[in-house]
């Protein structure tokens, strides 16, 4: 909505607006691009002209969708899934991603999976076996080991700490 509004305000004609992409009908001048970029930055957005940066953002979006899409097959192959979705070899995607983002696709994926696990632990509606299944870990043990490697504590400790902090907040009122 913000992008559309700013394009219209600057009288930049466009065909389509998709996440991370705008197809314009005419050539956009450098002055118009600068104005658009400045206006978008006021909303916490920015123009990306570099194709590698755009591809890295698409990779991030695809990974986040995978982590949060509970309807996907349980045993996914991340490299195959990203290659199929984005139309490039995984090797190319991995090289571009690490060059632009400064970390590997796998580390980014694991970090987001662990954040999803934290979210589910905080909700306190599912047990660890259900969370493991939902987040596509092969076992509770695998989830626990990866969680501890990333956070420094076990999932049960994390849940306990969250529970204690929530109780303390409730007692403040």
Please enumerate in sequence order all residues whose Cβ is within 8 A of that of 55, keeping only pairs 6 or more positions apart, or say none.
Answer: 86, 88, 93, 96, 97, 100
Q: Quick one: which of 18, 15, 20, 13 has its CA closest to 56?
A: 20
Q: In degrees rounded to 5, what are phi and psi of residue 59?
A: -65, -45
Q: Which two tokens stand for residue 44?
A: 């916490």
27 half-sphere exposure, CB direction, 13 A CA radius: 2
Residue 168 neighbours by CB distance under 10 Å: 9
Interval 28-78: pLDDT, tens: 888 888 888 888 888 888 777 678 888 999 999 999 998 988 665 545 689
Give all strands (DSSP E) within the chain, no chain letters: 14-18, 21-24
pLDDT of the residue at 29: 84
Confidence of residue 169 (pLDDT cuts 50, 70, 90): very low
Q: In degrees rounded to 5, what are phi and psi of residue 17?
A: -130, 120
Interval 75-127: pLDDT, tens: 568 999 999 999 999 999 999 999 999 999 999 999 999 999 999 999 889 99
Structural domain spans, the chain: 2-47, 53-168
pLDDT of the residue at 71: 62
pTM: predicted TM-score of the whole model, two decimal places: 0.71
Q: Are the CB atoms for 117 and 151 separated by under 8 Å? A: no
Say which CATH architecture domain 53-168 belongs to.
Answer: Orthogonal Bundle (1.10)
User: Is pLDDT of 1 > 60?
Assistant: yes
Read off the DSSP letter of residue 28: P
Q: Which two tokens stand for residue 20?
A: 């991370």
């Amino acid at each position: 909505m913000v992008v559309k509004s700013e394009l219209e305000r600057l009288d930049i004609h466009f065909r389509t607006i998709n996440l991370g992409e705008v197809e314009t009908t005419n050539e956009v001048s450098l002055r118009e691009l600068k104005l658009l970029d400045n206006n978008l930055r006021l909303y916490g957005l920015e123009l990306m002209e570099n194709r590698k940066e755009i591809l890295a953002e698409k990779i991030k979006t695809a990974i986040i969708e995978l982590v949060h899409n509970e309807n996907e097959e349980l045993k996914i192959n991340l490299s195959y899934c990203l290659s199929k979705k984005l139309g490039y070899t995984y090797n190319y995607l991995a090289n571009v991603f690490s060059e632009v983002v400064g970390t590997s696709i796998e580390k980014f994926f694991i970090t987001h999976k662990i954040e999803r696990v934290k979210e589910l632990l905080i909700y306190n509606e599912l047990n660890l076996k259900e969370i493991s299944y939902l987040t596509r870990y092969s076992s509770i043990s695998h989830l626990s080991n990866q969680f501890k490697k990333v956070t420094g504590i076990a999932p049960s400790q994390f849940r306990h700490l969250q529970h204690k902090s929530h109780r303390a907040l409730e007692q403040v009122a």
